[in-house]
Amino acid sequence: MSESELEPSSETQHTYMSPEPHEFVVPTKRVKTPNDLTLWKRSEAYYEYMGFILALNQAVQGSALDSECSQSSAVDSIVQMLNKFDEWIAEIPPTEQPQRFGNKSFRTWHERLQQNALEELKQVLPEDLHRAIPEIVQYLYESFGNPTRIDYGTGHEMAFIMFLCCLFKINVFEHEDRIAVVIKVFNRYLELVRKLQLTYRMEPAGSHGVWSLDDYQFVPFIWGSAQLIGHPRIEPRHFVDPGIVESFSKKYMFLGCIDFISKVKIGPFAEHSNQLWNVSAVSSWSKVNSGLIKMYQAEK
């Protein structure tokens, strides 16, 4: 499926569904072989997933992280839930262990997630939607890393985006929440998973090393580049300027990603983040954005 087939028009709204006739089921892993991956890319679910990313990509163009935007009480509730998950980190400090990576305390944190997520979602969703929780909570469980391997990667990021997509589908989020879901909810999620990665020394899951865009994330580069489309001062070449990054990392998700990478990696940026270094040579944010979407489609 090409980018043009997926790209929503300016009039397109994300497809919502009434939960009443829908039978909610606990999702299971279906993509296990290369043939399954081919089927996935032809599926309605893939179209929905990429369409959702593109719809929010379009909505967030030109909006900084501190922009005023419409947001429902559901947005506030999800942010508060993520805040609570964050508080657990202080309550479950990393244990002393000989291994440098993969602190086993993450398993305790994740166990608490599994013990409490159902009740947390009951506080967020209206009672008539509680029957949807057994389905959508599975995506939440998968959103923060693997407790066995103690790693995190774009598959976990994908699970959280599916979780957000589900909340739109069952009308917990409103159409007007699209910007807030990116700059409030997803950005708060990003802060949380970075804290998990650093606190528990989580390994990158499925990283391609220096040839990957980033060890842990992808979508914040897509939505973050959309935020910068049309910016009067910041061009793609500027994101390798430490001064620009320091000044604007709290306002733009893309620059926040660069700031995080620069703090956790050692050495010249062009060496440890070669793919991003190449992106800095692209002439405009709109071209960066469309190129990243194509790259993401090729990977997913």
Which residue has tokens 């997913």?
A: 300
pLDDT in tens, the chain (300 residues): 344 444 443 333 444 555 456 788 888 888 888 888 889 889 999 999 999 999 999 999 999 999 999 999 999 999 999 999 999 999 999 999 888 889 999 999 999 999 999 999 999 999 999 999 999 999 999 999 999 999 999 999 999 999 999 999 999 999 999 999 999 999 999 999 999 999 999 999 876 555 578 989 999 999 999 999 999 999 999 999 999 999 999 999 999 999 999 999 888 988 899 999 999 999 999 999 999 999 999 887
What are phi and psi for residue 152, nearest 5 degrees?
-145, 140
Quote the DSSP letter at residue 280.
T
Residues pairing with 204 in the sheet: 152
What are phi and psi for residue 145, nearest 5 degrees?
125, 170
Q: What is the pLDDT of residue 22?
A: 76
How many Cβ atoms sit within 10 Å of the Cβ of residue 125?
19
* Domain range summary for the chain, segments of one domain joined by +: 35-57+68-92+103-204, 209-299
Q: What is the pLDDT of residue 16?
A: 52
Using CA atoms, how far apart are residues 231 and 255, in angstroms rounded to an integer? 13
Using CA atoms, how far apart are residues 16 and 19, in angstroms rounded to an integer? 9
Count the helices and strands in the chain (H runs, E runs): 15, 2
Q: What is the pLDDT of residue 5?
A: 43
Question: Can you state the angle between helices 219-227 and 44-59, rounded to 10 degrees?
Answer: 30
Q: Find the angle CA(63)-CA(180)-CA(49) to the nearest 5 degrees.
A: 100
Superfamily of domain 209-299: Phosphotyrosyl phosphate activator, C-terminal lid domain (1.20.120.1150)
Question: How long a stretch of residues is the chain?
Answer: 300
pTM tops 0.85: yes
